[in-house]
Chains A and B, each alone.
Chain A
Amino acid sequence: MFEFSFEIYEVSKENLVDYLGTILVLILFIIERVLNGRNQKKDSERNWYLNVIVQPNLEELKSFFKNYKRVTIESFKYLYSFTPEKNNKVFLNIKSKEFDRIKDLRRGEIETFLLLINSFDVDLYSSLSTVIRDMEDWIIKKADEELDIEEVLYDFEDEYSFIVNEFMKHLYKPI
């Protein structure tokens, strides 16, 4: 029994470097396969996101933002054209109608797009819908206050550019 163990010890000692080398190569091979598999999964997820979610909807997104800008400027100009007795019933009604017109843009195509995002990535959905809601809040707050129209339109240009950039930044984050 003792001799047998000794023989094994002798064999192991002689080939120790070879064994370790083989084991190391094997470990590196497994690590490389696992990482490759993970990278492939990430790549296919990225490609899918870009080709199925982002690119087919890009034109619609651009048209949404363009339309949003046009409608908002129209609404600002229209609402700011009323000066006397801004809180009378007729004006409240007009205001609510204009606000609803702006909200309807959000309720349309962009909402369908955001629902698609929601089924892909909840956090991304949350970031993008927050950007859209922030834009809506900014517009409605400004339209609800009695400010200088020129100043509001000037500020809106800045806010609009900021919002579109934020949206695109979040949209391309997973890529």
Chain B
Amino acid sequence: MNEKIIDLAQAKKSSSTAYAGRPEGEEARKIFKLDSIDKDKSIKVEVVFPPNTTSLNPSFFLGLFFKSYKRLGKKRFNDKFKFNLNSVEVSIKENIRKDISDGIEECERTINSNNSIRALFK
């Protein structure tokens, strides 16, 4: 089993502390070559947050991980990607966990939507 570390510090300007914007997330996805990582079942990924992180917006999460989540599904995504918040300030960790959870929920909603109410009018 191969382990790959993704250092999110590479995906932002040094002065910024927040990860925001879907295009920025998609750009980071290219930097980290997640399309090819997704295809290699033997790779486990550790996503490392830099110490000065204050926010991970759902838009950035979607840009970075939506394709992987869609391709792998919830279980395999959770098995493959682990989020390492060890360097983040203790008091900020909980906020980032909430942000990750928001991002995952958004992926779920987008994938599992079914227009159920509208179907009643058909």
The interface of chain A, by Cβ under 8 A from chain B, is 41, 44-45, 48, 87, 89, 92-93, 95-97, 99-100, 103, 107, 115, 118-122, 125-126, 129, 133-134, 136-137, 140-141, 143-146
Q: Does B27 contact A (CB under 8 A)?
A: no
A116 to B55, CA, bound (A): 27
B110 contacts A126, C-beta separation under 8 Å: yes
A137 contacts B20, C-beta separation under 8 Å: yes
A137 to B55, CA, bound (A): 10
Size category of the B interface is: 20 to 34
Across chains A and B, the number of contacting residue pairs, with CB separation under 8 Å, is 94
Which one, B96, B102, B122, contacts A107 given CB within 8 A?
A: B102
A134 contacts B59, C-beta separation under 8 Å: yes
Within 8 A of A (CB), among B40-60: 52, 54-55, 57-60
Closest to B62 in A: A133
B92 contacts A145, C-beta separation under 8 Å: no
22 contacts between A and B (CB under 8 A): A41-B122, A92-B17, A92-B92, A93-B89, A93-B92, A95-B54, A100-B55, A115-B109, A118-B109, A120-B118, A126-B110, A129-B106, A133-B57, A136-B20, A136-B57, A137-B20, A137-B57, A137-B60, A141-B20, A141-B21, A144-B17, A144-B54
